[in-house]
């Protein structure tokens, strides 16, 4: 049985392919070629959660363009999604450290791009309506007569009357629904299901299924990310923290590279390049990779800090290895005569690079492409730096698999 060729496009590709103002005959041909490949049994396009968050417009003026590129993503990828990067890293490290973990797949054909930890954010218990009513009535400013009258109207044998449950479950003004949607990326109908669970009108399984249905909807997720990208709610924090740990773990490497590049000013142009192949420099990179892995494993797997041999990481942690080593290569390039600090896009590109070993053809921007290709070649992945070259790369991969 022939394998399905897995393709990962850059977020900018969906913008280019869907923007009518940028259409050229060549771009039209590229899109048609990709659609034809999609319709074949040989190719599957995949998106990731990081792509969804990147595609969310920060300016409402670009909402229409965001809708167009989201439609293009769905048109090409359907419900094919790659696992959240922290999920991939945790499972790679579990393999490297020989820690038992759940059965894992980096691929989903039902749109499951999110980390499973998001479901821990859902409430475990339903709202104890009777206790809430009793606590309120026992508060200051409520007389004994008023309390007894209210309890008689609202409760029967210590339980809320059906009319009370109905009112709480309906929430006609949607005030509670709006609050829920600010914390959970749930479509209105799905948020109502969660509210109904709170008030005893739905089961925990129904609430979980409703949350999952919203997460699997790229159109809704991009809209929610646009509206809540600046919010520090639990959901956004849960998504951002793993990436922040990776960033913190590798930032010191940039400073070391900049120090070495500074030697050019003292010893002449090209001196730093002459020592980049130095054994000590290579060992430093290996050491950083091992330390980054140990730091992430310590927090993600709750194990003792223990750096591993880089050879083990190369074998069992392809995503982490490619991401970290690609950053090293890129930073060495940027610490030239005009050094610059690491840019936010550098880390975003590194998060994307985690996925490179899990596909056959990977799109990266022209700056990062050669760095990623250098470190992902051992896994048999083709990295493409221009959208116009994606079709040729896919066809070459198909031909090589015959």
DSSP strand pairing (361-363 vs 382-384) = parallel
Give the whole-angstrom CA distance, residue 56 versus residue 228: 10
Residue 285 neighbours by CB distance under 10 Å: 19
Q: Which of the two residues, 395 and 3, has the higher pLDDT score?
A: 395
Which of 61, 50, 44, 202 minimizes the C-alpha distance to 108? 44
pLDDT at position 128:
44
Least confident window among 50-59, 294-303, 365-374, 387-396: 50-59
Q: Are strands 159-160 and 155-156 parallel, antiparallel or unpaired?
A: antiparallel
| Range name among 3-7, 260-264, 367-371, 387-391 with the lowest pLDDT average | 260-264
- 281 falls in which pLDDT band (50, 70, 90)? low
- Work out the percent of the chain whose per-residue pLDDT is above 70: 71
Please provide residue 298's backbone torsions phi and psi, each rounded to the nearest 5 degrees: -60, -45
Question: What would the pLDDT profile of 192-226 be if each residue is shown by its tens digit?
Answer: 888 888 777 788 899 999 999 999 999 999 988 88
For residue 314, name the pLDDT band (cuts at 50, 70, 90): very high
User: How confident is the model over 255-277, as a mean pLDDT?
Assistant: 56
Highest mean pLDDT, choosing among 33-42, 98-107, 136-145: 33-42
pLDDT of residue 282: 76
pLDDT over 70 (residue 162) = no
How, if at all, do strands 81-82 and 107-108 pair? Answer: antiparallel
Rg (CA), the chain: 26
Q: Give the model confidence (pLDDT) of 231-258 as tens digits.
A: 657 787 777 776 666 666 666 656 665 6
- Report the DSSP beta bridge partners of residue 383: 362
Under 8 Å between Cβ of 96 and 312 = yes
Provide the pLDDT for residue 156. 60
In angstroms, the CA 216 to CA 41 distance is 23
Tokens matching residue 79: 């419900």
Distances (CA, A) of 105 to 42, 89, 151: 20, 12, 53
Are the C-beta atoms of residues 77 and 47 closer than 8 Å to each other?
yes
pLDDT for 121: 82
What pLDDT sits at residue 165? 55
Question: Can you tell me the distance from the alpha carbon of 283 to that of 295, in angstroms, rounded to the nearest whole number?
Answer: 18
pLDDT mean over 68-86: 96
pLDDT tens string 113-144: 999 888 888 876 554 444 544 555 466 665 66
Each residue's pLDDT tens digit, 172-194: 445 567 777 888 899 999 988 88
277 or 327: which carries more pLDDT confidence? Answer: 327
pLDDT at 176: 65
Q: What's the pTM?
A: 0.82
Alpha carbons 160 and 231: distance in angstroms, whole number: 35
Gap between the Cα atoms of 108 and 92, Å rounded: 17
54 has a pLDDT exceeding 90: no
């Amino acid at each position: 049985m022939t394998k399905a060729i897995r393709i990962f496009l850059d977020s900018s590709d969906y913008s280019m392919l869907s923007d009518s103002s940028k259409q050229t005959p060549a771009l039209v041909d590229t899109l048609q070629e990709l659609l034809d490949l999609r319709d074949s049994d040989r190719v599957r396009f995949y998106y990731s959660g990081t792509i969804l968050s990147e595609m969310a417009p920060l300016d409402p003026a670009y909402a229409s363009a965001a809708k167009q590129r989201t439609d293009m993503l769905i048109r090409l990828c359907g419900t094919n999604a790659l696992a959240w990067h922290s999920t991939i890293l945790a499972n790679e490290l579990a393999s490297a450290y020989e820690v038992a973990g759940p059965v894992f797949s980096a691929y989903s054909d039902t749109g499951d791009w999110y980390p499973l930890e998001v479901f821990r954010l859902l409430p475990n218990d339903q709202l104890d309506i009777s206790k809430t009513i009793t606590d309120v009535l026992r508060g200051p400013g409520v007389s004994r007569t008023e309390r007894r009258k209210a309890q008689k109207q609202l409760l029967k044998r210590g339980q809320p009357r059906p009319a009370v449950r109905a009112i709480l479950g309906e929430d006609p003004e949607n005030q509670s629904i709006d609050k829920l949607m600010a914390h959970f990326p749930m479509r209105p109908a799905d948020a109502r299901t969660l509210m109904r669970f709170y008030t005893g009108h739905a089961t925990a399984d129904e609430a979980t299924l409703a949350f999952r249905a919203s997460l699997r909807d790229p159109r809704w997720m991009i809209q929610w990310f646009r509206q809540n990208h600046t919010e520090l709610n639990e959901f956004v924090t849960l998504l951002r923290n793993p990436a922040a740990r990776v960033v913190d773990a590798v930032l010191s490497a940039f400073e070391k590279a900049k120090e070495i590049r500074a030697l050019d000013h003292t010893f002449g142009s090209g001196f730093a390049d002459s020592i980049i192949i130095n054994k000590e420099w290579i060992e430093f990179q290996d050491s950083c990779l091992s330390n980054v892995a140990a730091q992430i494993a310590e927090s993600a797997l709750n194990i003792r800090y223990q750096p591993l041999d880089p050879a083990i990481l190369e074998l069992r942690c392809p995503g982490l290895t490619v991401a970290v080593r690609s950053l090293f290569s890129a930073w060495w390039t940027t610490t030239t005569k005009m050094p610059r600090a690491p840019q936010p896009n550098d880390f975003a590109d590194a998060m994307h690079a985690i996925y490179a070993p899990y596909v056959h053809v990977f799109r990266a921007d022209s700056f990062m492409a050669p760095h990623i290709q250098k470190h992902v070649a051992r896994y048999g992945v083709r990295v493409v730096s221009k959208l116009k070259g994606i079709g040729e790369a896919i066809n070459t991969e198909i031909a090589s698999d015959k």
